[in-house]
């Protein structure tokens, strides 16, 4: 079967669709207010990408409970006080024709006490050699019951706000990824041990969110498939099995966060990750892939490997009209670094600008 065009609609198993196959990746931007409510800068940032032609527009990782916060300026979905801003955002994205998704998140060990006022918890107690690391306590049954309820309540708020769907953040070493990890999850009960136990929390969250949301509401999952950065203790074959289970539980897409779609698998150096994932999943289940996709050629090559859509991060920050411009002959995306003024013209607010200074080739010095 030939690869789809980037500019064909993308159909999800629930019956919903996106107008094209170019997504704005869920990007930390630190622009929400400290209580988690939407700011004007974050609204402007996301809607600018929607008007630029992105068929799917995802929010940053939005925390489902106050104690799951991982970043300053993080969007919240844990209180009805967040609903007015969420409604504004959902309506503004929908008005452009894009599919708006909220990424639902709990940081687990990566929810520091300086933000939450509480010791972080995770699958197990463990140590990491990194600055500022706080040894987490092991989750209790009460913690797990409460966090599942928080994901369900957050998803219901997203429905009430008018979003088209949600994505459960199971990647990047956050809570679900910590439970999937063989090194972070050393539990001996039904929430750990073998892969089935380690995947239980994510699968249960998907089941409960799926059951609590209406037909036609998109519910997907983002996964790290192998070790990278904070995600560790992951095995590709296990991750593919988890993706298969999620498909059985009713996922509408799998978002493979690869960091670099051009790289080969760690486990199978002669292979790309995407063909193995594609072969394991029903053809009707879309795969979204992210990782250093800049050009139309990069995106087309990613689709040829088995993805059904691409998610752009840094390319979308610097090129808010990427999908519209990509349909023109000879389109060459802008690469950084760009001046603060040029980024402001691209709807990057002051707090996001300060955050981007931590990344190479994004903001001009001086």
Residues 217 and 349 in one domain: no
Regarding whether 239 and 356 lie in a shared domain, the answer is no
Q: Which range, of 1-5, 187-191, 330-334, 348-352, averages the lowest pLDDT?
A: 1-5
- Regarding whether 361 and 231 lie in a shared domain, the answer is no
Cβ(225)–Cβ(236) under 8 Å? Answer: yes
Q: Which of 132 and 60 is assigned the larger pLDDT?
A: 60
Q: Provide the pLDDT for residue 309.
A: 98
pLDDT of 1 > 70? The answer is no
Instruction: Using the predicted structure, report yes or no on whether residue 221 has a pLDDT greater than 80.
Output: yes
Phi, psi of 100 (to 5 degrees): -95, 125
C-alpha closest to that of 179 among 194, 167, 166: 194
The active-site residue, picked from 174, 230, 268, 355, is 174
Question: What is the rounded distance in angstroms from the CA atom of residue 5 to the CA atom of residue 300?
Answer: 8
Backbone angles phi, psi at 234, to 5 degrees: -110, 145
Q: Please state, in angstroms and rounded to a whole number, the distance separating the CA atoms of residues 6 and 208.
A: 32
Q: What is the mean pLDDT of the chain?
A: 97
Is pLDDT of 204 > 80?
A: yes
Active site residue 174: yes
71, 191, 276, 298 from 237: Cα distances, Å: 31, 20, 9, 25
Number of separate domains in the chain: 2
Two structure tokens written together for 19? 């107008």
User: What's the rounded mean pLDDT across residues 274-286?
Assistant: 98
State if pTM tops 0.95: yes
For the domain that residue 233 is a member of, what is the CATH number?
3.20.20.70
pLDDT at residue 99 tops 80: yes
- Residues 204, 217, single domain; the answer is yes
Task: Decide if 58 contacts 167 (C-beta within 8 A).
Answer: yes
How far, CA to CA in Å, does 64 sit from each of 15, 71, 104, 150?
A: 26, 13, 6, 6
Strand partners, 222: 169, 255
Q: Is residue 202 part of a domain?
A: yes
Tell me 303's DSSP state.
Answer: H
Flag whether 1 is in a domain.
Answer: no
Q: Is residue 5 part of a domain?
A: no
pLDDT at residue 84 in the model = 98
Residue tagged 């699968």 (tokens): 203
pLDDT of residue 63: 98
Residues 363, 272 share a domain: no
- Answer yes or no: is pLDDT of 4 > 90: no
Which domain covers residue 348, as residue numbers? 336-366
Please check whether residues 65 and 196 belong to one and the same domain.
Answer: yes
Residues 29, 60: Cα–Cα separation, whole Å: 7
Record the tokens describing residue 107, joined without a space.
């940081």
The region, left, alpha or beta by phi > 0 then psi within -120 to 50, assigned to residue 35 is alpha
Crossing angle of helices 236-248 and 200-212, in 10° steps, is 20
Q: At what angle do helices 200-212 and 141-161 cross, to 10 degrees?
A: 40
For position 14, what pLDDT does the model report?
98
361 and 328 within one domain: no
């Amino acid at each position: 079967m030939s690869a789809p065009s980037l500019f064909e609609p993308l159909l999800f198993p629930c019956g919903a669709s996106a107008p094209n196959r170019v997504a704005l990746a869920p990007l930390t931007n630190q622009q929400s207010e400290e209580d988690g409510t939407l700011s004007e800068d974050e609204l402007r940032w996301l809607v600018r990408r929607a008007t630029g032609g992105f068929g799917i527009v995802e929010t940053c990782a939005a925390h489902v409970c106050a104690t799951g916060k991982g970043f300053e300026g993080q969007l919240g979905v844990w209180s009805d006080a967040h609903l007015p801003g969420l409604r504004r955002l959902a309506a503004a994205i929908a008005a452009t024709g894009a599919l708006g998704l909220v990424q639902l998140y709990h940081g687990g060990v990566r929810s520091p006490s300086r933000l939450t006022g509480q010791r972080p918890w995770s699958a197990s107690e463990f140590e990491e050699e990194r600055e500022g690391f706080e040894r987490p306590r092991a989750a209790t049954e009460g913690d797990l019951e409460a966090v599942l309820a928080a994901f369900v309540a957050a998803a219901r708020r997203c429905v009430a706000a008018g979003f088209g769907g949600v994505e459960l953040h199971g990647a990047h070493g956050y809570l679900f990824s910590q439970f999937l990890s063989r090194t972070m999850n050393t539990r001996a009960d039904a929430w750990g041990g073998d892969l089935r136990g380690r995947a239980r929390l994510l699968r249960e969250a998907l089941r409960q969110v799926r059951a609590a949301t209406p037909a036609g509401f998109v519910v997907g999952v983002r996964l790290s498939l192998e070790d990278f950065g904070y995600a560790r203790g992951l095995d590709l074959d296990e991750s593919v099995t988890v993706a298969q289970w999620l498909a059985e539980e009713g996922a509408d897409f799998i978002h493979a966060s690869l960091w670099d779609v051009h790289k080969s698998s760690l486990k199978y150096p002669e292979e790309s990750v995407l063909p193995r994932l594609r072969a394991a999943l029903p053809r009707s289940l879309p795969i979204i892939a992210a990782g250093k996709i800049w050009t139309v050629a990069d995106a087309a090559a990613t689709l040829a490997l088995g993805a059904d859509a691409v998610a752009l991060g840094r390319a979308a920050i610097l090129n808010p009209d990427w999908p519209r411009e990509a349909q023109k002959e000879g389109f060459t995306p802008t690469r950084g670094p760009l001046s603060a003024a040029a980024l402001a013209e691209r709807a990057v607010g002051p707090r996001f600008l300060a955050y981007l200074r931590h990344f190479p080739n994004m903001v001009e010095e001086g």
